[in-house]
Amino acid sequence: MSIFEAILLTVITASTPLVIAALGELVTERSGVLNLGVEGMMIMGAVAAFAGAQTSGSPYVGIICGIAAGALFSLLFAFLTLTLVANQVATGLALTLLGLGASGMLGEPYVSVPGIRLEEIVVPILSDIPVIGHVLFRQDLIFYLSIALVIGVSWFLFRSRAGLKLRAIGDSHTSAHALGIGVIRTRYLAVMFGGACAGLAGAQLSLVYTPQWAENMSAGRGWITLALVVFASWRPWRVFAGGYLFGAVTILQLHAQAFGLGIPSQFLSMLPYAATIVVLIIISHNRRTTMINTPASLGKAFVPER
Amino acid sequence: MKKFALTLAASAAAIIGVASAAQAADKTKVCFVYVGSHTDGGYSQAHDLGRQQVQAEFGDKIETPYLENVPEGPDAERAIERLARSGCKLIFTTSFGFMDATVKVAAKFPKVKFEHGTGYKTGPNLATYNSRFYEGRYILGQIAAKTSKNHGAAYIASFPIPEVVMGINSFEQGARSVDPSFKLKVIWVNTWFDPGKEADAAKAMVDQGVDVLTQHTDTTAPMQVAEERGIHAFGQASDMIAAGPKAQLTAIVDTWGTYYSKRVHALLDGTWKSEQSWDGLKDGILKMAPYTNMPDDVKKMAEETEAKIKSGELHPFTGPINKQDGTPWLKAGEKADDGTLLGMNFYVEGVDDKLPAQ
């Protein structure tokens, strides 16, 4: 295996959880709900996936547990913000704090227990293509799912009727409501989809990235995905590209150090965030793109009776 | 933010525990403050094992409440003060970042004894303690030089602070004592705790052909990578053999229990004095995990070096040693003093990295 392939493989592992969680958050935000609890949902997914895999002996059961945990945990957020109309920002932050604390408690029996790694699925024929075959077609299930999700979410949002309704709600919940679209119901589903994706991303952390359970092992990746959604200006394929850019910068800075290039590691660690700020400046500079992409109702509560 | 809430929850729980225990008995209270969780598998857990050892040794005579996940900053001061008010006779604050908070609280409570782990500020009722990790790292360096097929190793480093730089240098000194052409690559991850990033750093090093890894970060992720890729690695703070049964050569293990036990004895005897303690292999505060996955002659060499360090025959920083750029630092036979070690901000010859600006 060449160094080039080796780098690509690590970039994929580092980028996959970012892409998955950011896609989930993108759908949530497209419906007009801002859920800052991605970090909390991700870590709950990680602990549930690890526990599920340990208990059953199968990493696939772990994946299902991770997705379920993320979705259920997001349901708490949905209930508070959609039904009880609690402040979305505060509730999202609370969700992260609760998730970090609760996962630490639930995960206590699993500290320093050897993990179960999700095995690779080798796609016949395609995996024999030089370089690309090895990198793209000898991957774990979660990587394939991440690609399917990008295509699926993109299709759903821009090609399906349900996606059109979801975007309509995100842009103007009152108009959508007047047209008879179920605002609250759709938002519940969007939030839970976001939670399920965050849970899947968490499962990737504890079953693929580093097959182990450690408290706080998400280490801020949930926050990166929030930046990523803005960076991508709410577009699925840009989330994909952005996720890989963030992942590649992380990996390349480590290789740059190992090669002895004299770039300060702190500077390279900062790059993805600096890039986000630059993109924010660019998109907010151009009012038209901002208007087109940002869901207009983002973060606003919807109360049908008033 | 998250640390804050965790602490709130943790301190609330602990304070309730402390308060109810205070009315219970005439047991002497010895209290502990951890920066992480007591099951973090690394630094805080090592301290908690020490606490458990002391509790087991003294049994009914003492009780040992602890606070965990206490962030470094104003919250630490409140947490420590609560403990002081709740009747703790001796309080161990176990992280470098608790230093100033401990100093302030110690001044307010002259009758309570305080001990701060890995700091340098003392007071009449405030002692400090630390471990000479670098002694163990010298042995790791020697083993690495014997094990590596390409005369080099990689060092996954957290932050460019003196303790980390001292460890890198000591490792290189050990390696050069066996193989003068040994090159040590350093990779900075700028975190103490991020399993993913530590694993990525390990993978990057392995992909570039490194066959021995060592780390000064807190998780077992690099060991796990070493195991998967079939190379060797050293454990950090705890014996990490479970994560790398074939990979781990040895580990430097923090065993604070011996020190805690000595100090609790002193407290109960009334002989407790403020001191600056910096013990190492000799005193058992630092231990080497079993030497595994290596040929017998390498194991023998490691054991001999360990014995020499314990007897005082060998000091890892004994001249002649040049700085990285070749300028002389220590003359032949000269030993580095503790002050220089504790403030170390330069590399020795053979380290293949540019020290980041601090």
Q: Do A14 and B190 touch (CB under 8 A)?
A: no
For chain B, where do the domains classified as CATH 3.40.50.2300 start and end? 28-132+256-279, 133-253+286-343
ipTM of the complex: 0.87
Q: Is residue A1 within 8 Å of A134, Cβ to Cβ?
A: yes
SS3 label, residue B187: strand
Buried b (16+ CB within 10 A) or exposed e, A196-222: bbbbbbbbbbbbbbbbbbbbbbbbebb
Interface contact flag, A215 B5, Cβ < 8 Å: no
Q: Name which of A10, A97, A115 is nearest B204 (Cβ-Cβ).
A: A10
Number of domains in chain A: 1
Query: Is there a domain that residue A131 lies in?
Result: no
CB contact under 8 A, B200 and A254: yes
Residues of B with CB under 8 A from a CB of A: 1-2, 5-6, 9, 36-37, 39-41, 154, 185-191, 193-197, 199-201, 203-205, 207-208, 210, 219-221, 224, 242-243, 352-354, 356-357
Inter-chain CB proximity A104 and B37 less than 8 Å: yes
Q: Tell me, yes or no, whether A132 lies in a domain.
A: no
Q: Is residue A189 part of a domain?
A: yes
Arithmetic mean of pLDDT, B63-92 = 92
What pLDDT is stored for residue B16 in this prediction?
A: 45
**Best of B2, B49, B218, B253 to mutate (most A CBs within 10 Å, chain A):** B2
DSSP 3-state assignment of B235? strand
Q: What CATH number corresponds to the domain at position A90?
A: 1.10.3470.10
Q: Do A97 and B6 touch (CB under 8 A)?
A: yes
Contact between A100 and B6 using a beta-carbon 8 Å cutoff: yes
**Portion of chain A with pLDDT greater than 70, in percent:** 97
CATH for B28-132+256-279 is: 3.40.50.2300
Give the mutation candidate from A8, A207, A210 for the B interface (greatest B CB count, under 10 A).
A210
Q: Which residues in chain B are closer than 8 Å to A209, comparing Cβ atoms? A: 195-196, 199
- Give the range with max mean pLDDT: A64-68, A132-136, A235-239, B5-9: A64-68
Give me the domain span that covers residue A181: 3-119+139-293
Evaluate whether residue A100 is within a structural domain.
yes
Chain B residues touching A269 at Cβ < 8 A: 190
Place of tokens 């017998």: B296
Q: Is B91 helix (H, G, I), strand (E, B) or coil?
A: strand
CA B75, B81, B87: angle at the middle one, nearest 5? 145
Mutate to test the interface with A, among B4, B8, B34, B37 (most CBs of A within 10 A): B37
Q: Tell me, what's the pLDDT at A253?
A: 86
Distance from the Cα of A195 to chain B's closest Cα (Å) equals 19
In a domain, A130, yes or no: no
Closest in B9, B190, B354 to A262, CB measured: B354
User: Does A219 contact B203 at a Cβ distance shorter than 8 Å?
Assistant: no
- The predicted pLDDT at position A290 comes to 62
Q: What are phi and psi of B208, to 5 degrees?
A: -90, 10
Give the separation between CA A65 and CA A44, rounded to whole angstroms: 10
Q: Determine the average pLDDT of the residues in A115-138.
A: 88
Rounded distance between C-alpha atoms, residue B210 and residue A233, angstroms: 41
The string of pLDDT tens digits covering residues B276-291 is 999 999 999 999 999 9
Which residues of chain B lie closer than 8 angstroms to A103, CB-CB?
none
Residue B29's H or E segment, with its range, is: strand B28-33
What is the distance in angstroms between the CA of the first residue and the CA of the last residue of chain A?
A: 63
Q: What is the pLDDT of residues A160-176, one digit of tens each?
A: 999 999 999 999 999 99
* Look-up of token digits 């402390």: B18
Q: Which amino acid is at A110?
A: Y
The stretch B235-240 carries a mean pLDDT of 90
Q: How confident is the model at residue B357 (pLDDT cuts 50, 70, 90)?
A: low
Q: What does the pLDDT read at residue A291?
A: 63
Give percent above pLDDT 70 in chain B: 92
- Name the pLDDT band for A148 (thresholds 50, 70, 90): very high
**Is the pLDDT higher at A70 or at B25?**
A70
pLDDT tens per residue across span B16-52: 444 444 444 578 999 999 988 887 777 888 899 999 9
CB contact under 8 A, B199 and A215: no
> Which pLDDT belongs to residue B125?
96
Q: Spelled out in words, what is the top-level CATH class assigned to the domain B133-253+286-343?
A: alpha beta
What's the pLDDT score for residue B20? Answer: 47
Q: Which is it for strands A138-140 and B232-237: parallel, antiparallel or unpaired?
A: unpaired
Is pLDDT of B11 > 90?
Answer: no
CA-derived radius of gyration, chain A: 19
Distance CA A108, CA A104 (A): 6
Tens-digit pLDDT profile for residues B140-165: 999 999 999 999 999 999 988 888 99
Tell me whether residues A101 and B6 touch, CB distance under 8 A. Answer: yes
pLDDT at A230: 87
The answer to whether the CB atoms of B188 and A265 lie below 8 A apart is: yes
Q: Domain for residue A64, yes or no?
A: yes
| pLDDT-derived band at B330, boundaries 50, 70, 90 | very high
Q: A269 and B190 in contact by Cβ < 8 A?
A: yes
